[in-house]
Structure 1
Amino acid sequence: MENSDDIRLIVKIAQLYYEQDMTQAQIARELGIYRTTISRLLKRGRDQGMVTIAINYDYNENLWLEQQLKQKFGLKDVVVVSGNDEDEETQLAMMGLHGAQLLDRLLEPGDIVGFSWGRAVSALVENLPQAGQSRQLICVPIIGGPSGKLESRYHVNTLTYSAAAKLKGESHLADFPALLDNPLIRACVLWW
C-alpha cells in the first residue's frame, strides 16, 4: 500500500485531471513533475481503487447487450434500438435510422452490400444519406423476391436499386422468387 504522501498526491492528481479537466501536461507543470509520472500515478489510483470511473448507462441502456452480441457472434459493430412504448411505425423508423447510420459508417469503397426485402430493410434504405460522390459500391439482392405477395416498395430489387441510387453505387438485380414450390424449377435456379 502507498504511504500517506503518495496517496495524497495520487488523489490530488486525479482531482485535477478528472474533476477540473486539466491535461496531464498542465498538471505536470503545476506540480513540477514529469507527465509520464502523472500518467503512471493516475493508473495506480485506478488500480488501487482510489479512483473509480462510473458510466451512466441510462444514456445507452443497450450498451452491455450490444457488447455481448458483438462478442458472441464476432460482429464488427452492433446497435440495439430500444422499443420502449412507441408504436410499430416509430420503432421501424428508429431501427431504420440507426441501421442506416451504422451501415453508412461501416461502408468502404469497393464493398459489395447485400439486401433482403421487407419493411425493416425499407426503413433502413429510406434513411440512408444521399452520397455526394460515387462510393464505388455494388448493391445486390441476397434473396429472391416474394413472388408478387408484397408491395413493390418492399421488394428486394426495389430496395437494392434505391440503396444503390442513394449511395451512388451500382445495383445488380436478380429476378427469381425467394421460395420455389416446384423442385424442378428450384434445381434449375440453383444450377443457374
Structure 2
Amino acid sequence: MRKIIDDERLIYQCCSLYYEEHMGQSQIAKHLGISKSSVSRMLQTGRELEIVEIKVRHLAQYMYEDLEEELKKKYHLKDVVVAESSPLDSKTERISKLNERAADYLNRLLKDGDYVGVSVGSSIRNLAKTSHEAFHRNCTFVPLVGGISQHTTGMEEVQSNQVAEALAEKYGGNYVSFFSPAVFSNENLMNEFLKEEAVRFIFDYFEKLDIVISGMNIASSMYETVKKLGYVSDDQLDRFKKNGAVCNLILRFLDQNGNTEPFDEYNRKIAGISAEAYKNVEHKLLITGGAGNAAAVKSCIRGNFANILIMDVDCAKALLVD
C-alpha cells in the first residue's frame, strides 16, 4: 500500500507552501490535513527528488575562502582577506577592489576606544578615498613616523600625519600629529630632538596601540613612496638591496627573514615607533597586492610585523609557492 509521504503531488504542495508561501510546518500540516512529521519527511524527500534545489549564492568578495584558510594555516596568521580580481582588471580596478575589501575589514575590526597606528604611503591613504560606507567610531589615529619632509611636492597627502587625519575623518574619532622629520641625517640629533615636549608625547600613544596599518604599493616598486619622499637616495637603495633588503615597512628596511639589523645605520635614524613596539601590537594589518610583493610580505610575517593580510589574489597565490 502506497504511503502518503510517497505522494509526489502532495510532496510538491508541501514544498511549494514551505519555500514559496513561507508557511510553517504546523500550518502546512493543518492546511493539508496531515501530521507535522509527515510534512518534515516530505520536505526532505522534495530535496532528494530535486523538486527543491537549494543554493548558497557566493558573493564575489567571499569566493576565496579556501585560499584564505590555507594561507592562515601556512603562516599562522590571525586573519587573511583576499580581494577578488580578474585577469582583465586594470591596475586601477585591482587597487579599487583591494581598498574596498580593506575598508570593509576595518569597518568590522575597529571599535570605540581603539588606538590605530598608521604608516606612510598611498596604499593607506587610499583607504580614506574609497566610496565604501564607513561606520564612525570613537577611535584615535596615530602617525607611526614623523610627518615632515622637504620633498613633498605632489606627495603631501601620503605623509603619515595626513593619512591619520584622513582616516579619522572617514571612520570617526580623532587623530594626533607627529611634527617631526621622518628621517634624520644624524641619530644623536634625532634623539635630542625627540626629547622636546612638543613631540615626545607621541611615544605615549605608541604604547596604547591596538591596531597598526601598513601597506605596500600594488604591482609597482615597494620603494616608490620612500624614494619619492626623498627619504632614501638611489645609491642608498642600491646598497641596501645588495645587502639583502627585500622590504620597506614603516620606513625601515628588512631582509628576507624580517631582520632590521643589517640596515641599522639607516633604520636608527627613523623618527617613529620602534620595531619592537610595532611587533607588540595585537592587530598588525598589511595591505598589498601583486605577485612581486610576495617576498616582502613573507619578510613582514617572519619578522612578526604582520599577522593580518589584505591582498589581491595574485599576491595570495604567490605566497603559497615555497
TM-score computed with the length of structure 1 as normaliser = 0.64
CA distance in 2, matches of 1:80, 1:40: 41
**What displacement does 1:100 show?**
2.0
Q: 1:92 to 1:64 in 2, by over 3 A?
A: closer
CA distance in 2, matches of 1:113, 1:87: 31
Question: Where does residue 32 of structure 2 map in the other structure?
Answer: 31
CA distance in 1, matches of 2:63, 2:267: 46
CA distance in 2, matches of 1:152, 1:55: 46
**Percent of residue pairs identical:** 23
Give the RMSD, CA atoms, in angstroms: 4.2
Q: 1:184 to 1:78 in 2, by over 3 A?
A: closer
Please identify which structure carries the higher helix content. Answer: 1
Q: Determine which structure has greater relative contact order: mean sequence separation of CA pairs < 8 Å that are 6+ residues apart, divided by chain length.
A: 2
Match of 2:88 among 85, 89, 103: 85
1:145-189 Cα distance to aligned partner (Å, 9 max, x none): 699577232233321221112323122445545227553862997
Gaps of 5+ in 2: 184-250, 254-262, 278-322
CA distance in 2, matches of 1:83, 1:32: 54
Match of 2:156 among 152, 156, 161: 152
Q: Which amino acid aligns with 1:179?
A: R
Question: Where does residue 64 of structure 2 map in the other structure?
Answer: 65
**What displacement does 1:34 show?**
6.8
TM-score computed with the length of structure 2 as normaliser = 0.43
| 1:91-130 equivalences in 2 (<5 Å) | 91-127=94-130, 129=133
Tell me the secondary structure at the aligned position of residue 84 of structure 2: coil
Question: Where does residue 5 of structure 2 map in the other structure?
Answer: 6
1:37-56 Cα distance to aligned partner (Å, 9 max, x none): 7567646765x575542245
Count of equivalent residues: 183
Please identify which structure carries the higher strand content. Answer: 2
Gaps of 5+ in 1: none
Contact persistence 2:140–2:176 (CA under 8 A): yes
CA distance in 2, matches of 1:36, 1:116: 61
1:66-109 Cα distance to aligned partner (Å, 9 max, x none): 35415752656846232442322233233323432332244322
